[in-house]
Amino acid sequence: MNTVLNVKDLCKTYITNKRQNNVLKNVNFKVNEGEMVAIMGPSGSGKSTLLYTVSGMDRMTAGEVEFCGKNIEKLNDNDLAKLRLDDMGFIFQQMYMLKNLTVLDNIILPAVKSTKTKESRAEITERALKLMKKLGIEDIANNDINEVSGGQLQRACICRSMINNPAVIFADEPTGALNRTSSDEVMEEISKLNREGTTIMLVTHDAKVAAKCSRVLFIVDGNIKGEYNVDVNATLRDRERALNNWLMEMGF
């Protein structure tokens, strides 16, 4: 399998009030094409920082991140923006969208901006509607974002992240702001995307969410303390139980 993300000796340091805070310390890992990797760890361990640094949303202090063969630390801001637009998808905990646009317009916005394909606006719209149908939200296409539920909105955010057929989708606590039912529905959609071949890297606190992934990286104080390969052939309940046991061993 091809490696889509290769992280070597990644360091991230913040300086706050003249104090140096080493959030990530020589982090090394790889993500292969088609994988679904969860990053877990206690609060303040550097999970989100790791996600944003490897996705080029934040600049690293030292180390190397190779995304689809490109060293992202060598890219300028414009190239990074283009990389995010064409090859990455993002899902956040807060399902934030532009409030002046309808749900459909929010979804097609990255595709309209992108020059990756030469699709017409009608073709983009058609593709977005198909995506929405797939995620069961085709009825809210022309709704304003204040007219839909949190679960529907997060599924719309997944559609937006998928619209440019990215190589990897990065998700930061994608179910963190949802109730259990919505959370299960959203995770089912994300898992389905992964089963269809999309590489996914997500940050979560929730073992039930992480159990749906193929691999779990456990991070403490900016270091990857352990790595757990989920038995994808086991039932979800068994996977969850086994993962919880491992997490307890790791001190979570």
Residue 123 — left, alpha, or beta (φ > 0 → left; ψ -120 to 50 → alpha)?
alpha
Tell me how far, at minimum, the Cβ of 154 lies from another protein, in Å.
Answer: 10
Site for another protein in 129-188 (CB under 8 A): 142, 144-147, 150, 153, 160, 164, 172
Q: Out of 2, 9, 30, 121, point to the residue binding another protein (CB under 8 A).
A: 121
Question: Tell me, what amino acid is at 77?
Answer: D
CA pair distance 80, 60, nearest whole angstrom = 13
d(CA 114, CA 136): 25
Q: Kindly tell me which of 25 and 82 has the beta carbon lying closer to another protein.
A: 82
Q: Does 104 bind another protein (CB under 8 A)?
A: yes
CA distances to 29, 238, 244 from 211, in Å: 19, 9, 9
Integer Cα distance of 129 and 123 in angstroms: 10
Write the burial class of residue 146 (CB in 10 Å: 0-12 exposed, 13-18 middle, 19+ buried): exposed
Whose Cβ is closer to another protein: residue 121's or residue 195's? 121
Count CA within 13 A, CB hemisphere, residue 22: 10
Q: Which stretch binds another protein (CB under 8 A): 20-28, 111-119, 178-186, 192-200?
A: 111-119
Size of the site for another protein (CB under 8 A): 48
Restricted to residues 44-103, the positions that interact with another protein (CB under 8 A) are 48, 52, 57-58, 77-78, 81-86, 88, 90, 92-102
Interaction site with another protein (CB under 8 A): 48, 52, 57-58, 77-78, 81-86, 88, 90, 92-102, 104-105, 108-110, 112-114, 121-122, 124-125, 128, 142, 144-147, 150, 153, 160, 164, 172
